[in-house]
Chains A and B, each alone.
Chain A
Amino acid sequence: MLSFRLFFIGLLISAVIGAGAYVMKLQRDNVILKENAVKLESAISEQKQVIENQKKDFAEILEANKKINELVNNLKKDLDDLDKRFSKKDRDIGKLAIERTGAIERVINKGSDNATRCIEIASGSPLTEEEKNATKKSEINPECPSIANPAYIPY
């Protein structure tokens, strides 16, 4: 009978200790869960920021691609214009040079100077005020108006 009582008391004490330990564990878990919730909220907010930044990056990439494509098209147009100048209305620059040697020499030298300036601009040389403000055909660099004369609109 005594051993039965002792066993019962032992069982009771074990149950109380176990319950206490379990409650303490639950409390610790609760603290951790609260911390986790805060971290998750912060992570979500950071992820939103990351997504916003990515959207901004995509917009920048699109804009950069657009600008480069525009530049490529404008430069291609400059090249086509040069081709047209040589072959406009069945123009034969060789015959013209024989007929009007001095005049063609001046034209070619002027064109060469303009083309040289175009290469300088393409390599990063800053535009002069004259180049920036040129709006008339007589003011522009006809070899590369797309890069030398940003204010010029072909007419």
Chain B
Amino acid sequence: MLIPLIFLTNCSGVKQLSIFKEEVKRQELNLEKPTPLQLEQIKWIIITSENADEVFKKMEEQGLDPVLFGLTDNDYQLIAKNFAQIRNQLKITNDILDKYKEYYEPKEKNND
């Protein structure tokens, strides 16, 4: 009689509910943003068949080597567009990086 009672009282018990909460805050990456570029200014010289002698003479007067690395007008346009594309990509990448930082490491969290 006792044995069934023991079974009845101990085996069908209510189990204690366990809720696990494990929040391990990930260490912030905190990489320094790269220093903004400070570019050198370059000087473009337009050389035509008419002004070539004058240009080279002027360069010699200024103590520069009388040599020019040339582009055609079409290639000048292409290089300008290429630089504009590089600039756009740089800006987008930088802004995306900022957005990621704002999202994953917002300032209020940093202040905690």
Contact = CB atoms under 8 A, between A and B. Distances in A.
Interface in A53-100: 57, 60-61, 64, 67-68, 71-72, 75-76, 78-79, 82-83, 86, 92-94, 97-98
Interface residues of B, number: 52
A46 B20 CA distance: 12
Contact of B17 (A36, A94, A105, A121): A36
A100 to B, nearest CB: 10
Nearest to A109: B44
Interface string A1-23: 00000000001001101100110
State the majority secondary structure of interface residues on A.
helix
A25 interface: yes
Contact of B39 (A75, A97, A116, A147): A116
Interface residues of A, number: 61
Contacts of B87: 115, 118-119, 122, 144
B9 A120 contact: no
B62 interface: no
A22 B9 contact: yes
Nearest to B5: A18
A55 B81 CA distance: 41
Given A36-B16, A71-B91, A120-B37, 15 more contacts: A42-B19, A61-B103, A75-B88, A79-B84, A97-B73, A101-B46, A105-B46, A108-B44, A109-B44, A116-B39, A122-B87, A122-B91, A123-B36, A124-B35, A124-B36
